[in-house]
Chain A
Amino acid sequence: MNIYVLLKRTFDTEEKISIQNGQIAEDGAEFIINPYDEYAVEEAIQVRDAHGGEVTVVTVGGEESEKQLRTALAMGADKAVLINTEDDLDHGDQFTTAKILAHYLKEQEVDLILAGNVAIDGGSGQVGPRVAEQLDIPYVTTITKLEIDGGTVTVTRDVEGDSEVIETSLPLLVTAQQGLNEPRYPSLPGIMKAKKKPLDEVELDDIDLDEDEVEAKTKTIEIYLPPKKEAGKVLEGELDAQVSELVSLLRNEAKVI
């Protein structure tokens, strides 16, 4: 089975965000594989181990994304592809990324594509379904379980707390929700092996795409931090008095009850 994972490099969830020259400051920040993509990598490895085949992780980004691709290889993926847009694109949006990925994947033999259901930085959750649409294959988002039996695929999907059991078939794109699996940590031998695994780098030219064809359809005009929240009032006194005071504050001062 040919399995592809769409992966994004993101800020570590424990990082504080600051702004420099109108952009999110990246200096000194820790970067990780987007946590939802990590579930996708883990699931891909499990599917390969059960059904055979090969796992390829693909990302669109710059040179620095190599680190996250190597981490996925160390977890157990077989190959990695970096579609390097550093020299070609100043800024892209989800239209851009999806078009690049779909364009690349169209030329590959694909049975199953996994991605995270959302990236914790941009938070749009668009790229997976857009890629599936462009490849004209079905998709199921926010999955918590994946079972493949011959040509039949049974997927459990989280829908705002409810679960849907969905039957579909390959080729298929799914996006991972938390709870799908427990991603493994790369082992030391895994890390050693990863250094020798193939990591291909391609540019837009190599996949016959022109910058104009992937020009973003949206534009960010401002980035700002939310107003800093003032620490509020910590109540004092006997506990029951505090509770009554809180209720009265919520009712009369905050007016939310």
Chain B
Amino acid sequence: MARKVLVLGEVRDGSLRNVSFEAIAAGKTVSEGGEVVAVLIGKSVSALGEEMIQYGADKVVVVEDDKLEQYTPDGYSQAVLSVIDQEKPEGIIFGHTALGKDLSPKVASKLSTGLISDATDLEEAGGNLVFTRPIYSGKAFEKKIVTGGVIFATIRPNNIEPLAKDESRTGEVSSLSVDIKDLRTIIKEVVRKASEGVDLSEAKVIIAGGRGVKSEDGFNPLQELADVLGGAVGASRGACDADYCDYSLQIGQTGKVVTPDLYIACGISGAIQHLAGMSNSKVIVAINKDPEANIFNVADYGIVGDLFEVVPMLTEEFKKLKVSSS
């Protein structure tokens, strides 16, 4: 059954986040041969429409307004709902990002529909669109379908492969003017903490530290390794509770759930609560002094040793590799 599907493109620092392209790919699956309409919202974002087309959107609707320069649930929901009203989609896909998580329940509630959050996969099976999503932070999975109304889902970044970019693709980029009013939450200030590094939820490589890093400075060698690999630094609850790092770095059942290509756990024992947040990473490396540490039970590769010796050696080794391959 061909459907029209709306996908939200997410803009950060003037460019489209990867999850936007993943959403197009998911939208294509949901559309079953129908049309994929991308929505871009912001102050001046129409120039990005072309890229959404190149990644597979059939057309793009842009809503631009000074009041949309920053994300607010009131502003963005008015914009999205206006586009929904115009396009009347039968499917909607957002990224399961901070923005998508905050906005999607409001939009679903307005439309009085269900919402499948944080899907990691979707497929057509037996006449249904079946979404896979982790529950209990990845300790289990569920397959879920929408039983009535619009098929609305958010997709976890890094899990659904985007379509290949095709620069010859063309499509209409139109703008819709929406009278944005009554913003009940006003952003006074944005303090950038994560700006120096790669975002944890989208990182392909994560170097995570546990109690074994012993101090705030103990994270320095991990950061250096992350820099060489173009990755991000994360932490276990133990490291956060001990004040070695900020809670925003925490990976686990409380904290972030991540699925990078490579996860290097340094000085992390592997409590169940931590494993829930990272055990679905593609490849896991454990570095720990304690050969009995539980983390070795989920690791693909392990080195028994002091992270303060091993991590700098790894950094050097990867640096060499970079030099020789460039």
- Judge whether B116 is part of the interface by a CB distance below 8 angstroms: yes
- Judge whether A247 is part of the interface by a CB distance below 8 angstroms: yes
- Judge whether B118 is part of the interface by a CB distance below 8 angstroms: yes
A136-179 residues at the B interface, CB under 8 angstroms: 138-142, 144, 154, 158-169, 177-179
A222 to B310 alpha-carbon distance, docked (Å): 42
- Judge whether B135 is part of the interface by a CB distance below 8 angstroms: yes
Q: Mark A21-55, 1 if CB is under 8 A from B, else 0.
A: 00010000000000110000000000000000000
Known: A125-B105, A166-B185, A231-B298. A161 touches B137 (CB 8 A): no
A162 touches B136 (CB 8 A): no
What total of A-B pairs shows CB separation below 8 Å? 263
Give chain A nearest CB distance to B320 CB in angstroms: 9
Residues of A within 8 A of B273 (CB): 13-14
Q: Mark B305-325, 1 if CB is under 8 A from A, else 0.
A: 100011001100110010000
Using CB atoms, name the residue of chain B closest to A10.
B136
Which of A13, A95, A139 meets B253, CB within 8 Å? Answer: A13
Using CB atoms, name the residue of chain B closest to A225.
B140
Residues of B within 8 A of A251 (CB): 321
Known: A138-B74, A218-B114. A13 touches B254 (CB 8 A): yes
Task: Select the stretch in B56-64, B96-104, B208-216 that faces chain A.
Answer: B96-104
Task: Select the stretch in A73-81, A126-134, A194-202 that faces chain B.
Answer: A126-134
- Judge whether A207 is part of the interface by a CB distance below 8 angstroms: no
Residues of A within 8 A of B146 (CB): 217-218
Report whether over half of chain A's contact residues are helix, strand or loop; otherwise say mixed: mixed
Which of A122, A167, A246 meets B186, CB within 8 Å? Answer: A167
B144 touches A220 (CB 8 A): yes
B74-100 residues at the A interface, CB under 8 angstroms: 74, 97-98
A257 touches B321 (CB 8 A): yes
A226 touches B138 (CB 8 A): yes
Residues of B within 8 A of A231 (CB): 296-299
A221 touches B130 (CB 8 A): yes
Known: A19-B140, A222-B143. A247 touches B134 (CB 8 A): no
Residues of A within 8 A of B128 (CB): 221
Give chain A nearest CB distance to B135 CB in angstroms: 6
- Judge whether A1 is part of the interface by a CB distance below 8 angstroms: no
A243 touches B187 (CB 8 A): no
A190 to B184 alpha-carbon distance, docked (Å): 37
A206-241 residues at the B interface, CB under 8 angstroms: 216-226, 229, 231-235, 239-240
B145 touches A233 (CB 8 A): no
A73 to B138 alpha-carbon distance, docked (Å): 31
Task: Select the stretch in B21-29, B31-39, B45-53, B274-282 that faces chain A.
Answer: B274-282
Which of A127, A139, A256 meets B73, CB within 8 Å? Answer: A139
Give chain B nearest CB distance to A118 CB in angstroms: 8
A226 touches B101 (CB 8 A): no
A168 to B186 alpha-carbon distance, docked (Å): 6
- Judge whether A187 is part of the interface by a CB distance below 8 angstroms: no
Q: 16 A-B residue contacts at CB 8 Å?
A: A24-B140, A95-B113, A120-B136, A120-B254, A121-B136, A123-B257, A159-B190, A166-B185, A217-B147, A225-B141, A226-B138, A229-B297, A239-B303, A240-B313, A254-B282, A257-B318
The 10 A-B residue pairs whose C-beta atoms are closest, nearest first, are A217-B114, A161-B194, A138-B184, A232-B300, A129-B105, A218-B114, A126-B105, A124-B117, A133-B109, A234-B302
Partner-B contacts on A (CB < 8 A) = 11, 13-17, 19, 24, 35-36, 93-95, 98, 120-130, 132-134, 138-142, 144, 154, 158-169, 177-179, 216-226, 229, 231-235, 239-240, 242-244, 246-247, 249-251, 254, 256-257
